[in-house]
């Protein structure tokens, strides 16, 4: 299992949105590379980056910052999401030096795109990003609610060849209310492979809960606001997830 510290980029700044609301923005840093360096120096082997501008518009906006992070820390594995709706966009992002690309809204609208992307890039270069509220898929940077049941989409994408998944419980994201372990166990069961926990991680107790689910169900845990608010220390989170604390 791995800790995935989150860097959400909006207009080149490191921010967090409350429940995906672009009107409820907190800015934490104007230096994404320095923030990534802090995570890396604390023992994180992965970084989860979201281009919030692209998530809303479908047009890459923070590619320069992402490329700068990858160039500064080539040993750090990076997965990036936000606006990845064409094979050209995925290819351009992979060319920056990141490890994996998260595809979200496009998969909800056109699940067959998953098969095309897997054939073109390989399953290890791709991550399905499913954002859901009360079990229903949200799209376009959480600004649009679909009528698609999340477990149904998870199973379909698995059948089409995807083998990595970030599942965000957006009703809890940024709210520090804790995760729902049973939810992620159910999502992993639907997928048939371990998933990345996202949304609501509030303390090391949540990291421990994810670890207790086991590596068969959980690939890793994304930490965001709890870190930025000084509640979770990255080094401690890494140790807890690895069972060293």
Cβ contacts of 166 within 8 Å, gap of 6 or more? 48, 79, 81, 102, 127, 128, 129, 130, 195, 196, 198, 222
Task: Please enumerate in sequence order all residues whose Cβ is within 8 A of that of 110, keeping only pairs 6 or more positions apart, or say none.
Answer: none
Average pLDDT, the chain: 91
CA dist., res. 211 & res. 5, Å (int): 16
Binned at pLDDT 50, 70 and 90, residue 58 comes out as confident
For residues 137 and 171, the model is more confident at 137
Residue 131 is among the residues annotated as catalytic for this protein? yes
Domain 2-241 classification at class level: alpha beta
Token representation of residue 56: 């809303």
pLDDT digits (tens, 9 = 90+) for 184-238: 999 999 999 999 999 888 999 999 999 999 999 999 999 988 899 999 999 999 9
At 89, the pLDDT band (50, 70, 90 cuts) reads very high
For residue 191, give the nearest of 146, 129, 242 by alpha carbon. 129
Once rounded to an integer, what is the mean pLDDT over residues 113-127? 96
Q: Which runs of consecutive H residues, i.e. helices, occur in the chain?
A: 32-41, 52-57, 63-72, 87-94, 105-109, 112-121, 150-159, 181-191, 204-213, 225-228, 234-241
Q: Which of 31, 41, 131, 173 is catalytic?
A: 131
pLDDT tens track for 148-179: 888 899 999 999 999 999 998 876 555 556 88
Share of the chain above pLDDT 90, in %: 69
Per-residue pLDDT at 33 exceeds 60? yes
Is 31 part of the annotated catalytic residue set? no
In Å, how far from its chain's centre is CA 163?
A: 14
Q: Which of 8, 51, 173, 206 is the catalytic position? A: 8
Tell me the CA distances in angstroms from 4 to 51, 114, 117, 220, one per residue in order: 16, 23, 23, 7
């Amino acid at each position: 299992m791995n800790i995935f510290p989150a860097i959400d980029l909006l207009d080149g700044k490191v921010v967090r949105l409350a429940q995906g609301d672009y009107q409820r923005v907190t800015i934490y840093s104007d230096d994404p590379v320095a923030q990534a360096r802090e995570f890396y120096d604390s023992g994180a082997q992965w970084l989860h980056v979201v281009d919030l501008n692209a998530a809303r518009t479908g047009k890459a906006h923070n590619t320069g910052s992402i490329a700068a992070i990858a160039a500064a820390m080539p040993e750090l594995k990076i997965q990036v999401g936000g606006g990845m709706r064409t094979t050209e966009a995925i290819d351009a992002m992979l060319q920056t030096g990141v490890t994996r690309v998260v595809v979200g809204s496009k998969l909800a609208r056109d699940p067959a795109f998953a098969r095309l992307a897997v054939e073109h890039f390989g399953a290890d270069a791709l991550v399905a990003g499913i954002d859901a509220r009360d079990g229903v898929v949200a799209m376009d940077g959480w600004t649009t609610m679909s009528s698609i049941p999340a477990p149904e989409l998870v199973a379909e994408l698995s059948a089409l060849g995807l083998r990595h998944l970030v599942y965000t419980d957006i009703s809890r994201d940024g709210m520090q209310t804790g995760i729902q372990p049973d939810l992620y166990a159910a999502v992993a069961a639907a997928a048939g492979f371990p998933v990345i926990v996202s949304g609501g991680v509030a303390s090391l107790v949540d990291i421990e809960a994810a670890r207790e689910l086991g590596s068969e169900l959980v690939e890793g845990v994304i930490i965001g606001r709890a870190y930025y608010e000084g509640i979770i220390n990255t080094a401690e989170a890494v140790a807890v997830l690895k069972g060293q604390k």
